[in-house]
Amino acid sequence: MIEFRGVTKRFPGGTLAVDELDLVAEQGRITVFVGPSGCGKTTSLRMINRMVEPTSGELRVDGQDVLAADPADLRRGIGYVIQQAGLFPHRTVVDNIATVPMLLGRGRKAARDRAMELMETVGLDTSMARRYPAQLSGGQQQRVGVARALAADPPVLLMDEPFSAVDPVVRESLQDELLRLQSEIGKTIVFVTHDIDEAVKLGDKVAVFRVGGKLAQYDEPGVLLSRPVDDFVDNFVGRDRGYRGLGFLTSETILLGSLDMLSMGDPRPDDGWALVLDGTGRPLGWVADGDGPVTEDTIVPGGSLYTVGSGSLRGALDAALSSPSGQGVAVDADGRVAGSITADAVLAALPAARDDSAA
C-alpha cells in the first residue's frame, strides 16, 4: 500500500507541482495517475521512489516512511518502468534483465536463469536473450523493461507512460499483457498516462489530476465515467464517456439471436447476409447475397467477436456495430458460434446491467 498524506512538491523558483496530495494506492491493485501536461502526475509517481524529494507531507510505502529510508535501498525494492524502456544498449536482453539481481548479490548464472524465466512471463521468446536492444522492436524493448523491473520481485511497480512511444496496435497488446501479468503476480502498481482510455482500461482506481498538482477525482473507472465530480473531469474524460462506461457493465443479460450460416462452397444467400463457418463451427466472415458459391474471395471480414459470459456491454455493442451485417457474432469459450447480437439487444439489456452494477 502507498499512502500520500498532504504531500506537496514545490520546485526552486516557486513552481508548485503537487499540492497537498491525499491518496492511498491499494495493495495488489493498479492505480493510474492521469491528467493534462503539467498536472503533477509524474512528479507524484517519482516521489514514491524519491527520484523527486517531497517538500512537505508524509509518504509511506507498506507502512515505511520513504523519507526515513536510504534512497538506494528504497529503489531496490521498487520496480520502475519508463518510456522507451531505458535499456542499457551495450548489454544483451538477458543481461539487461539480470542487472538488478546481480547488484543485489545474486550470482550471474542464477540471475540469468531468473531473467530467462521473466522473458517467458512477459511474453518474450527466449531465443531473443542474446540480442541487443537495438535489435528489438519498440514493443519488445518495453517488455524487456517490464521484465527488468520485475527481476528482483519488488512488491511495488512504478510505470511512467511506459507504452506512449509505441504504435496503437502494439500499445493495446502491451496493455493486455500487463493486465494478464497483473492477474498472475498481483503487484501494487502505480501507472502514469495522459490517455484517459488507457487509464480506464488498466486502472482498478484512477486519479485525475488538474493543472497545479491538485487531485480532482479519485474513483473506480466506472464511477469516474458515470459520475464526474465537476466540469474539468467531465471535459477531460470526454464526451463519449457514456459509450466507454459500457465497458464496466456486465453483458450476461443479453439475449442471443439466430444466424443464417453457411460453409465454404455452399450457394450464396438469395437475400441479405449469412455467416460463413469453418469445419469446426468457428466464424470465417460474412457473405452477401449474390450468384455462385461461397469462396474465399466472396467472404467479407466479420468485425469483432463477443465471447459469451466473459464480456461487457461495450464489447457486445462493438461486435454488433463492427459487423457488416449489423449482427454481431457471439462465440463460446472455444470460439464456436453461439448466436447473434444486435445493437437493440444491447440497449435492451442496459437497464438490468445498470441495476446489477448499482447493487
For residue 135, what is the domain's CATH number? 3.40.50.300
Answer for the pair 221, 199: CB distance below 8 angstroms, yes or no.
Answer: yes
| Res 359 pLDDT > 60 | no
In this structure, the answer to whether residues 129 and 266 fall within a common structural domain is: no
The pLDDT value given to residue 83: 75
In this structure, the answer to whether residues 150 and 25 fall within a common structural domain is: yes
**Residue 219: which residues within 8 A CB-CB, separation 6 or more?**
205, 206, 227
Q: Is 290 left (phi over 0), alpha (psi -120 to 50) or beta?
A: left
Average pLDDT, the chain: 87
The pLDDT value given to residue 40: 92
| Res 69 pLDDT > 90 | no
In this structure, the answer to whether residues 210 and 305 fall within a common structural domain is: no
The pLDDT value given to residue 216: 94
Tens digit of pLDDT for each residue in 316-327?
Answer: 888 889 999 989
Cβ count near 9 (within 10 Å): 22
Q: Which of 191-200, 242-251, 273-282 has the lowest mean pLDDT?
A: 242-251
Domain extent for 325: 261-358
CA distance 72 to 69: 9
The pLDDT value given to residue 21: 95
Task: Give the pLDDT mean for 193-214.
Answer: 91
Match 524502456 to its residue by C-alpha cell: 85
* Rg of the chain on CA atoms, in Å: 24
CA distance 263 to 41: 54
In this structure, the answer to whether residues 234 and 298 fall within a common structural domain is: no
If one counts the domains in the chain, the total is 2
In this structure, the answer to whether residues 38 and 169 fall within a common structural domain is: yes
Task: Give the pLDDT mean for 51-69.
Answer: 91
In a domain? residue 248: no
In a domain? residue 256: no
In this structure, the answer to whether residues 43 and 164 fall within a common structural domain is: yes
CA distance 332 to 337: 6
In this structure, the answer to whether residues 46 and 103 fall within a common structural domain is: yes
Dihedral pair phi/psi, residue 292, rounded to 5°: 90, 175
| Res 84 pLDDT > 70 | no
In this structure, the answer to whether residues 187 and 294 fall within a common structural domain is: no
In this structure, the answer to whether residues 172 and 315 fall within a common structural domain is: no
Task: Give the pLDDT mean for 145-160.
Answer: 87
The pLDDT value given to residue 239: 67
The pLDDT value given to residue 274: 92
Tens digit of pLDDT for each residue in 116-142?
Answer: 988 888 888 889 999 998 898 888 888
In this structure, the answer to whether residues 98 and 228 fall within a common structural domain is: yes
| Res 357 pLDDT > 70 | no
Answer for the pair 125, 179: CB distance below 8 angstroms, yes or no.
Answer: no
Tens digit of pLDDT for each residue in 264-318?
Answer: 999 999 888 999 999 899 999 999 988 889 999 999 988 888 888 777 788 888 8
In this structure, the answer to whether residues 46 and 154 fall within a common structural domain is: yes
Answer for the pair 205, 220: CB distance below 8 angstroms, yes or no.
Answer: yes
Residue 128, Cβ density class (10 Å: 0-12 exposed, 13-18 middle, ≥19 buried) = middle
Q: Which of 223, 238, 253 finishes a domain?
A: 238
Dihedral pair phi/psi, residue 30, rounded to 5°: -100, 120
In a domain? residue 229: yes
The pLDDT value given to residue 168: 80
In this structure, the answer to whether residues 135 and 55 fall within a common structural domain is: yes
Answer for the pair 208, 34: CB distance below 8 angstroms, yes or no.
Answer: yes
Higher pLDDT, 43 or 313: 43
In a domain? residue 197: yes
The pLDDT value given to residue 28: 93
Q: Which of 182, 204, 238 finishes a domain?
A: 238
Check residue 268 and report its DSSP letter. Answer: P
